[in-house]
């Protein structure tokens, strides 16, 4: 009789231990999952902004060398891939492993960034928009004080 | 990204201020900063294309100061006195072509149809619920922009461009505030320049209004600054700080502004953009006068 009661007690302890472990796991997941989602989102935003900054650097470099802003992202990629000076200095300008083909696309959704150039004034300006967020760089209003300025900086 | 070096130059009477900044991954490194005093009115000689000797002297000084430069762009600060300034209002849904056409129409109107020249529109912060965009526009005559040809032979591989004084100061101010915690309190940025005062009202980095006030008396400047705040719906008590740049001695300007706005008047230090804090300079070094030229050097 006493041994049967001890068996039930042990079984109960095992069940409770499993329940504690399961509940601890669910509690842990419920706490960390939203944080990880936020972290993932933050990382994607950072990656997207970094990509937009690379487009900005390429636009500035093109303007510096050619005296004008290039009007489409496809032309910008083509210029990076075919201009001998740019090909030679690609790693030093954009870091090792840089791929020009990925430049026009947002890491967030794969959508293409939107580029508009206003070259009707003495100092041309451009605006680069991320179609999936409110982030942008520059302006098409011709306001030189906003030239190359990122909305998040 | 490899560093890109850009330079700014400003002429104020017999003085030429200069700055060169290397920008790399959003960081700025000061390459050179200083001023050069000529024995003649350098601003007049440069912008009015005075005698050949004076132009040669300016070219020689530039070549000497920037002898080892790698700057790909030189931005010359255009004084407010050499601009025609006006405001343009444009429908918020206007495309770039219409916006340019409307600003061009206003420029034609305000310059009485003078041929050529360049316009520099600066976007003012939108008012709540407004369906128009407001611009403070500077028009620079072709004769002024033609003076840039004095410098081009000195820097044949660089682009020599120009920037209105207030736009240059605004670029530097925005670079400063981007390094400090943001405040939603309105601030006044006031430049004491040749023949007048440049007054800008800002909230954060957004420009609410700007005007060039051509008065002599500091008390009149204080009144016009209060008026500028009043037009935007602010009282003197709401102004967080009044930041001064330009020719700041004697102290009559800061005294008059303190009387109007209280003890919130201070000189701005553009050196912080390139990591130079206030204590880096001697008490008598006019670092606040370098705000526009530092802004021009940041323009790339």
pLDDT digits (tens, 9 = 90+) for A36-72: 889 999 999 999 999 999 999 899 989 888 888 999 9
- Count how many pairs of residues, chain A against chain B, have C-beta atoms within 8 Å: 71
In a mutational test of the A interface, the residue from B4, B21, B121 whose CB has the highest number of chain A CBs within 10 Å is: B121
Alpha helices by DSSP H, listed for A67-103, are 73-82, 84-94
What does CATH list as the number for B182-298? 3.30.420.40
Q: Do A121 and B159 touch (CB under 8 A)?
A: no
The closest CB to that of A145, out of B2, B103, B167, belongs to B167
CA dist B160 and B111 (Å) reads 25
> Which residues, including other chains, have CB under 8 Å from residue A115's CB and lie 6 or more apart?
A55, A71, A72, A73, A76, A126, A127, A128, A129
Chain A: closest CA distance from residue B118 (Å): 6
The closest CB to that of A139, out of B26, B103, B123, belongs to B123
Tell me: ipTM over 0.90: no
List the structure tokens of A84: 């001998």
Q: Does B23 touch chain A (CB under 8 A)?
A: no
Same fold, B4-79+147-163 and B182-298: yes
The predicted model scores a pTM of: 0.86
Q: Give domain B4-79+147-163's CATH superfamily.
A: ATPase, nucleotide binding domain (3.30.420.40)
Q: Does B296 touch chain A (CB under 8 A)?
A: no
The closest CB to that of B163, out of A94, A144, A149, belongs to A144
Q: Do A94 and B97 touch (CB under 8 A)?
A: no
Per the CB < 8 A criterion, the answer to whether A31 and A103 are in contact is no
Chain A: closest CA distance from residue B150 (Å): 18
List the structure tokens of A140: 């098409």
From first to last of its 153 residues, what are the pLDDT tens digits of chain A? 566 788 899 999 999 999 999 999 999 999 888 888 899 999 999 999 999 999 998 999 898 888 889 999 999 999 999 988 888 888 877 888 888 899 999 998 999 999 999 888 888 899 999 999 999 999 988 899 999 899 988
| Burial of residue B271 (number of CB atoms within 10 Å: 0-12, 13-18, 19+) | buried
pLDDT at B227: 94
User: In chain B, which residues have pLDDT < 70?
Assistant: 1-2, 248-250
CA dist B211 and A144 (Å) reads 17
Which sequence spans correspond to the domains of chain A?
2-146
The closest CB to that of A148, out of B97, B167, B300, belongs to B300
pLDDT at B114: 78
Place of tokens 């032309």: A75
Which sequence spans correspond to the domains of chain B?
4-79+147-163, 81-142, 182-298
Reported as half-sphere exposure (CB side, CA atoms, 13 A), residue B279 has a value of 0
> Which residues, including other chains, have CB under 8 Å from residue A49's CB and lie 6 or more apart?
A135, A150, A152
Chain A: closest CA distance from residue B205 (Å): 10
The helix/strand/coil state of A152 is coil
Helix axes A2-66, A84-94, angle to 10 degrees: 140
Cβ contacts of B121 on chain A, cutoff 8 Å: 121, 141-143
pLDDT at B15: 94
Q: Do B2 and A89 touch (CB under 8 A)?
A: yes
The full 3-state SS of B91-108, as one line of letters, equals ECCCCHHHHHHHHHHHHH
Per the CB < 8 A criterion, the answer to whether B120 and B164 are in contact is yes
Furthest-apart CA pair in chain B: how many Å? 56
Q: Which residues of B281-295 are buried (b: 16+ CB within 10 A; e: fewer)?
A: eeeeebbbbbbbbbb
The closest CB to that of B2, out of A93, A141, A145, belongs to A93
Chain B: closest CA distance from residue A44 (Å): 19
Cα radius of gyration rounded to whole Å, chain A: 27
pLDDT at B250: 64
Instruction: Kindly provide the residue ranges of all beta strands, DSSP E only, lying in chain B, ordered along the sequence.
Output: 4-12, 15-24, 27-37, 73-78, 84-91, 118-124, 132-140, 159-164, 186-193, 196-203, 206-213, 241-246, 265-267
């Amino acid at each position: 009789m006493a041994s049967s009661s001890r068996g039930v007690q042990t079984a109960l302890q095992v069940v409770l231990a499993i329940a504690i472990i399961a509940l601890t796991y669910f509690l842990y997941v419920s706490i960390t999952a939203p944080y990880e989602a936020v972290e993932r989102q933050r990382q994607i935003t950072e990656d997207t902004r970094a990509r937009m900054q690379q487009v900005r650097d390429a636009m500035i470099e093109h303007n510096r060398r050619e005296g004008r802003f290039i009007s489409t992202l496809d032309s910008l990629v083509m210029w990076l891939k075919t201009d001998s000076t740019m090909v030679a200095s690609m790693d030093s300008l954009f870091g090792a492993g840089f791929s020009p083909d990925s430049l026009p696309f947002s890491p967030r959704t794969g959508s293409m960034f939107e580029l508009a150039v206003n070259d009707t004034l003495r100092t041309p300006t451009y605006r680069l928009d991320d179609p999936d967020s409110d982030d942008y760089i520059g302006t098409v209003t011709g306001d030189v004080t906003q030239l190359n300025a990122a909305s998040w900086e | 990204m490899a560093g890109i070096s850009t330079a700014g130059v400003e002429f104020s009477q017999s003085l030429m201020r200069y700055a060169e900044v290397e920008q790399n991954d959003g960081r700025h490194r000061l390459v050179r900063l200083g001023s050069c005093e000529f024995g003649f009115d350098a601003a007049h000689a440069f912008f009015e294309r005075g005698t050949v000797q004076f132009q040669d002297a300016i070219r020689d000084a530039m070549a000497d100061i920037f002898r080892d430069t790698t700057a790909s762009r030189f931005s010359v600060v255009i004084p407010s006195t050499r601009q025609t300034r006006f405001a343009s209002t444009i429908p918020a849904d206007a495309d770039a072509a219409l916006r340019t056409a409307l600003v061009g129409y206003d420029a034609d109107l305000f310059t009485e149809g003078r041929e050529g020249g360049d316009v520099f529109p600066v976007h003012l912060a939108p008012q709540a619920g407004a369906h128009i965009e407001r611009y403070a526009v500077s028009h620079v005559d072709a004769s002024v922009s033609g003076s840039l040809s004095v410098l081009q032979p000195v820097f044949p591989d660089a682009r020599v461009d120009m920037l209105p004084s207030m736009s240059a100061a605004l670029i530097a101010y925005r670079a400063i505030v981007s390094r400090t915690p943001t405040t939603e309190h309105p601030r006044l940025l006031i430049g004491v320049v040749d023949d007048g005062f440049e007054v800008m009202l800002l909230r954060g980095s957004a420009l609410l209004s700007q005007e060039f006030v051509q008065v002599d008396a500091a008390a009149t400047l204080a009144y016009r600054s209060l008026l500028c705040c009043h037009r935007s719906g602010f009282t003197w008590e709401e102004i967080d700080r009044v930041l001064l740049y330009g020719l700041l001695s004697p102290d009559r300007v800061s005294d008059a502004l303190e009387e109007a706005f209280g003890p919130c008047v201070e000189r701005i230090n553009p050196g912080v953009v390139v990591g130079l804090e206030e204590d880096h300079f001697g008490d008598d070094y006019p670092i606040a006068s370098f705000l526009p030229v530092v802004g021009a050097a940041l323009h790339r």
